[in-house]
Amino acid sequence: MKISQSKLSRRKFLLALGAGSAAATAALVVNKAQDAPPEKQEKVAASKGYRLTEHVQNYYRTAKV
């Protein structure tokens, strides 16, 4: 069986379209990660970890079996 030229060119176009959109998405994600303000990163680093807040206590109280 011989595959027609139009099917091959359509497949190549769709493959290039998918690869191009994936590359563009990856570039946007990397660019946004670099544009994050430094003070936000410091706040996350300054966090002492898990905190038992009123919201969390409310969840624990309602989740009891």
pTM score, two decimals?
0.37
End-to-end CA distance of the chain: 65
Note the pLDDT tens digit of each residue in 5-50.
Answer: 677 788 888 888 888 888 888 887 777 766 656 565 555 556 678 8
Place 64 in a pLDDT band, splitting at 50, 70 and 90: confident
Domain count, the chain: 1
* Predicted local confidence at residue 53, as pLDDT: 92
The range of the structural domain enclosing residue 58 comes to: 5-62
CA distance to 38, 39, 58, per residue, from 45 (Å): 11, 10, 26
Distance CA 40, CA 42 (A): 5
